[in-house]
Structure 1
Amino acid sequence: MFAEGNPEVLVVGAGPVGLFAALHLAKQGITVEIVDSGVWACKHSYALALYPQTLNLLREVGVLDRLMSNAYPVRNLALCDRNGTRARVRLGDASDPLGCLAVVRQDVIEDMLEHALREAGVAVHWRHDISALQPAADHVTATVDRLEKESRGYVVAHTEWVVGRRWDLQTPFVLGADGYNSRVRRTLNIEYPEVAPAQYYAVFEFETDAKLGDEAHIVFGPGTSDVLWPLPGNLCRWSFQLTDYHDSVAEEMKDRLLRSGFGYFPTERPKDRNEGSENKYPAVLDEKHLTDLIAARATWFHGSIEKIHWRTVVRFEHRLAASFGQHRTWLAGDAAHLAGPVAVQSMNIGLFEAHEFSNLIAGILRGRGTLADLDACGDRWHAEWRRLQGLEAPLQAVAETDPWIAEHAVDLPGCLPGFGAEVAQLAAQIGLVSPPVHSKTAVP
């Protein structure tokens, strides 16, 4: 049930970014409600690693210790070709427990954040959708739909989700963290164009006897960027870019939307969030194709392929919203950007966006800031994402840069786990220079 009265902030979307935003606001004494149109939290998703700087955010809201007890620490990135490692990037000081990528699946992250949110007195309202937002000078009116199952059909019975109740609430601020098909973004009429061609990846999680240590591996080939993640429990995940694969249904849907003038709608990305999700395996997910990919692209991987726990093909689009919001309604995470899969950027950086927007909103509600602060925040993140998407200030090689690194400099912004100054520091280890981003204020 919703609390009595109107919340100070309505968070839309209960993925990691939305859950973190709601928790961070609640910890600051802000009354918050969080809704999600899904039936329950996702059971499996692509995102699986948290940056060293992200871990400090989770410590701030009190979930770090529990999370790290479930995580696999990765302290180095091995940059490879098909024959082996060509360079390494060190992610932090070996003496620092948080100087690592914490490899932990998104569903585990969401479970921990939702548990902490309940302890803070805030429940996620699953099966609730926002069908309309009406801005006013000092608030936003949000129309909330509670979804319910309804049985239909006479000869062939079936059930479907329908609106069981609809009501309006008024809130000073809305934060949309409702994913790539964001209803919040669409109600604001913010364009969401593709900024680079989409990429297909075949993803395999399986048991293995490979000794991967504390390294993740990024493998560059002719026109491909693949990644190998070590996982807890003697598991690993290989993600292989499929340069000659196209989902005809997804591509046809995209073309139909373009012909109809709706070029800013992303295609579906599987996350196993809804009841009744099914996996259908195309031929590219056969175990033989997995072994063929390893043999062709990573001759150095000699680990066994035992039970495959998860396999899927994902279409990763590269999109950037025209803005991060306006006035009293703002976006964070996939609602504002989609990126490639290698560096898990959209989730990690989305958490920082949520952190900054939440801090500014809390300050405004308590008389310590103005709406102009939110405008400046949105501009900074938009400028940073232009760099991450390769639209501005790409990484540059210098005379001393290894030629192999220089050859792949254009691919590395989407592979290094960080943003802003952290990316510059990581890039410097392999002889690349990160030019400054053109924005009024540096991203914190």
Structure 2
Amino acid sequence: MSAAPPVLIVGAGPTGLNLALQLARRGVPVRIVDRAEGPGTASRAMAVQARTLEFYRQLGFADAVVAEGVPIPAVRLREGGEEVARVSFHDLGAGESPYPFVLAYAQDDHERLLVRELARAGIVVEWGTALAALSQDGAGIRATLSRGGAGEVCTPASLCGCDGAHSRVREALGIGFPGGTYDQLFYVADARIAGGFHEELTVNLGAHGLGLLLPVRLSGMQRLIGLVPDALTSHPGLSFEDLRPGVEALMGIRVEAVRWFSTYRVHYRVAERFRAGRCFLAGDAGHIHSPAGGQGMNTGIGDAVNLGWKLAETVAGRADPALLDTYEPERIAFARNLVSTTDRAFRALTGPGLGGQMLRTLLLPHLVPALWGFAAARKAMFDTVSQVRIAYHDSPLSAGRAGRVRGGDRLPWAGDPDNFAPLASLAWQLHVYGAGRPGLAEEARRAGLPLHAFPWTGAAREAGFSEGAAYLVRPDGYVALAGPDSEELMAYCGRWGIAAKP
């Protein structure tokens, strides 16, 4: 491995592996190191959202992920030991994404798949390799790596810290990580349940308890998550057996075997910056928050996709280096908003006071089924949880509006014919729905942009496109420029130094 690669990635969890894949698939040499001896062995993060699957589709392995995971068909609400409601997730986001569902996919399986995909791209993770020291100055970056007691100096052009909540990269850069920790202690377990495998998500609500049951693997394991009773939070050597009576009573199950058990406290923090010079933070190194909505891992993967294409374009000389200045404002704004919203939801749902008890035992069992009857409520829920609603309207990369589509929006999916298929090129491109203006093809040729013309259909109208309008689409599938005329398009390409991908 080169001691001076264009990019060094520290941390080989889902964020780091995705960042390495984004770079490798675009032909950028990269080194990725991790202090662990290999991929994780516990299920940990579970939910893979639709937007993440859309990114994986661009890389060609979304179908493999879906095949190994478990689509969750419904959520059941239980209160006081009785089922009080069931809401279907079937085709929850139909018409909005090729993946209109929530997928359960254990993180250890997920990581092994990403490692295999990375190896196919010619990159091998350097396990058992830790970042011992990091500094940067006008001359560049100097990273000291430690493996088996031996040290090595690496001088990458850029360095990315994807090394988790206790990030060595963040600490070395002196970037603050403000936030706090919730008082409640949680347990998590992967277990086998008597009576067979449950594919549905079950939310068990109680005045003094909260417990989730969801599928982990096709092999039949289930994930149990819940609050540790206050009386047991200081119990030395707390095990699942200490919790078993309360867990089984609340969830109405009998646990036959426990494969993995742990306790944890939930933190909420966002780094003060996501960039320092030529060093960047992504994933848990930059933000951690409550698990509400299954957003954490997917947000880190979103960071990796955003940063990956921008690094690749600048390394290859296909874009102005100022492109990298847009990474932090685009992703830190979303991270701050996510921490704020998940914090409110988490406090309301887990609060020990009367308000929390009423929410769990009275409001949720009746409010959720009532709201589920409205298509707008189901759409809002899918758009938020699936992360297809994430937009970069305030980014300097975003401009214009045509129809309901604004610069900064995720490119809406228009179904058949599939307007997401061209995104597999991982390149800038122009889209038009219906007959475009005269001369558009020649403008695209002069700008070095592939032009993809789609018929004007009811689905395109429903997705929010304007008939005949052009849309400049970024390599990550977001609309950069909506409805530009010829001068606006050429000026935009000139401003950002956008060049054709060879």
Tell me what 1:329 maps to. 279
> In the TM superposition, what is the alpha-carbon distance from 1:342 to its structure 2 partner?
4.3
Query: SS state of the match for residue 144, structure 1?
Result: strand
Aligned AA (2:59): V
**Could you tell me whether the CA contact under 8 Å between 1:39 and 1:127 is conserved in 2?**
yes
Specify which of 300, 324, 329 is matched with residue 350 of structure 1.
300
RMSD: 3.8
Tell me what 2:15 maps to. 17
> In the TM superposition, what is the alpha-carbon distance from 1:213 to its structure 2 partner?
5.5
Tell me what 1:141 maps to. 142
Q: Deviations over 1:179-227 (max 9, x none)?
A: 1111111111111123452542112222224567543133444475532
Aligned AA (1:203): V
Query: SS state of the match for residue 184, structure 1?
Result: helix
Query: SS state of the match for residue 54, structure 1?
Result: helix
Indicate whether 1:124 and 2:145 are aligned.
no
Equivalent-residue separation in structure 2 for 1:27 and 1:435 (angstroms)? 24
Identity %: 26
Query: SS state of the match for residue 350, structure 1?
Result: helix
TM-score (norm 1): 0.72
Tell me what 2:102 maps to. 101
- Residues 138 and 88 (structure 1 numbering): CA distance in 2 closer, same or farther, change over 3 Å? farther
Aligned residue-pair number: 371
> In the TM superposition, what is the alpha-carbon distance from 1:144 to its structure 2 partner?
1.6
Q: Deviations over 1:228-281 (max 9, x none)?
A: 1123223211101225278769xxxxxxxxxxxxxxxxxxxxxxxxxxxxxxx9
Specify which of 208, 211, 236 is matched with residue 226 of structure 1.
211
Gaps of 5+ in 2: 349-357, 369-376, 399-407, 411-502
Specify which of 358, 363, 367 is matched with residue 313 of structure 2.
363
Q: Deviations over 1:378-407 (max 9, x none)?
A: 223222222222269968x9xxxxx95996
Tell me what 1:84 maps to. 83
Report which structure shows greater RCO (CA 8 Å, sep ≥6).
1
> In the TM superposition, what is the alpha-carbon distance from 1:347 to its structure 2 partner?
1.0
Specify which of 253, 259, 284 is matched with residue 309 of structure 1.
259
| Greater alpha carbon shift after TM alignment, 306-315 vs 217-226 | 217-226
Specify which of 283, 289, 310 is matched with residue 243 of structure 2.
289
> In the TM superposition, what is the alpha-carbon distance from 1:436 to its structure 2 partner?
10
Specify which of 338, 363, 366 is matched with residue 388 of structure 1.
338
Q: Which residues in structure 2 correspond to 1:180-219 (within 5 Å)? A: 180-210=165-195, 214-219=199-204
Equivalent-residue separation in structure 1 for 2:174 and 2:54 (angstroms)? 34
Equivalent-residue separation in structure 2 for 1:196 and 1:309 (angstroms)? 27
Aligned AA (2:129): H
Relative to total residues, which structure has the larger helix share, 1 or 2?
2
**Could you tell me whether the CA contact under 8 Å between 1:177 and 1:333 is conserved in 2?**
yes
> In the TM superposition, what is the alpha-carbon distance from 1:36 to its structure 2 partner?
0.6
**Could you tell me whether the CA contact under 8 Å between 2:274 and 2:332 is conserved in 1?**
yes
Specify which of 208, 226, 230 is matched with residue 240 of structure 1.
226
Specify which of 26, 29, 34 is matched with residue 28 of structure 1.
26
> In the TM superposition, what is the alpha-carbon distance from 1:304 to its structure 2 partner?
3.5
Tell me what 1:318 maps to. 268
> In the TM superposition, what is the alpha-carbon distance from 1:62 to its structure 2 partner?
2.9
- Residues 391 and 292 (structure 1 numbering): CA distance in 2 closer, same or farther, change over 3 Å? closer
Equivalent-residue separation in structure 2 for 1:319 and 1:387 (angstroms)? 12
Equivalent-residue separation in structure 2 for 1:216 and 1:107 (angstroms)? 20
Q: Deviations over 1:43-90 (max 9, x none)?
A: 114212211221122222233233222211114344554443457474
**Could you tell me whether the CA contact under 8 Å between 1:36 and 1:128 is conserved in 2?**
yes
Query: SS state of the match for residue 40, structure 2?
Result: coil
Equivalent-residue separation in structure 1 for 2:79 and 2:339 (angstroms)? 23
- Residues 52 and 224 (structure 1 numbering): CA distance in 2 closer, same or farther, change over 3 Å? farther
Gaps of 5+ in 1: 149-162, 250-280, 398-402, 413-421
| Greater alpha carbon shift after TM alignment, 72-81 vs 340-349 | 72-81
Q: Which residues in structure 2 correspond to 1:244-259 (within 5 Å)? A: 244=230
- Residues 84 and 185 (structure 1 numbering): CA distance in 2 closer, same or farther, change over 3 Å? same
Equivalent-residue separation in structure 2 for 1:352 and 1:169 (angstroms)? 27
Equivalent-residue separation in structure 1 for 2:39 and 2:222 (angstroms)? 23
Equivalent-residue separation in structure 2 for 1:337 and 1:290 (angstroms)? 33
TM-score (norm 2): 0.64
Aligned AA (1:328): R
Q: Deviations over 1:83-113 (max 9, x none)?
A: 4345747443399772222212111111111
- Residues 384 and 78 (structure 1 numbering): CA distance in 2 closer, same or farther, change over 3 Å? farther
Specify which of 69, 72, 79 is matched with residue 71 of structure 1.
69
Q: Which residues in structure 2 correspond to 1:398-417 (within 5 Å)? A: none
Tell me what 1:47 maps to. 45
The structure having more radius of gyration, on CA atoms, is: 2
**Could you tell me whether the CA contact under 8 Å between 1:11 and 1:175 is conserved in 2?**
yes
- Residues 224 and 172 (structure 1 numbering): CA distance in 2 closer, same or farther, change over 3 Å? farther
Query: SS state of the match for residue 306, structure 1?
Result: strand
Q: Deviations over 1:341-364 (max 9, x none)?
A: 343322111001110011111122
Equivalent-residue separation in structure 1 for 2:100 and 2:117 (angstroms)? 24
> In the TM superposition, what is the alpha-carbon distance from 1:438 to its structure 2 partner?
10
Tell me what 2:484 maps to. none
Tell me what 2:381 maps to. 426
**Could you tell me whether the CA contact under 8 Å between 1:325 and 1:331 is conserved in 2?**
yes
- Residues 216 and 392 (structure 1 numbering): CA distance in 2 closer, same or farther, change over 3 Å? closer
Equivalent-residue separation in structure 1 for 2:296 and 2:276 (angstroms)? 20
**Could you tell me whether the CA contact under 8 Å between 2:72 and 2:104 is conserved in 1?**
yes
